[in-house]
Homo-oligomer: A and B are copies of this chain.
């Protein structure tokens, strides 16, 4: 029972990044997302990924690899957005 609970929790917290990525891609607006939030969360998720490898837990590795990829895309979108702002000044 608890394994199923953990699995559904992992799928939800990982899949939640898709609507956020879709919105940020569609609006190209990521101003409301704090840089320190994205960077700290990425560092933490990266450590969870390392932890998953260390304890050989495929679910932890998979969930955090997908989340890290989504965070990478969001950081790239935010970086591109800022580059465009500075160029427009």
Chain A residues at the B interface, C-beta cutoff of 8 Å: 1-2, 5-6, 8-17, 19-20, 22-24, 27, 29-38, 40-41, 43-45, 47-48, 50-51, 54-55
Q: Which residues of B contact A13 (CB under 8 A)?
A: 40-41, 44-45, 48
Instruction: Give the complex CA separation of A31 and B27 in angstroms.
Output: 10
Q: CB < 8 Å: which of B2, B14, B20, B35 contacts A34? A: B20
Pick the contact of A19: B12, B16, B37 (CB < 8 A).
B37
Task: Tell me whether chain A's interface is mostly helix, strand or loop, or mixed.
Answer: helix
Contacts known (A32-B29, A47-B9); A16 close to B2, Cβ less than 8 A: no
Q: Check A34/B40 contact, CB under 8 A, given A5-B51, A47-B12, A51-B9.
A: no
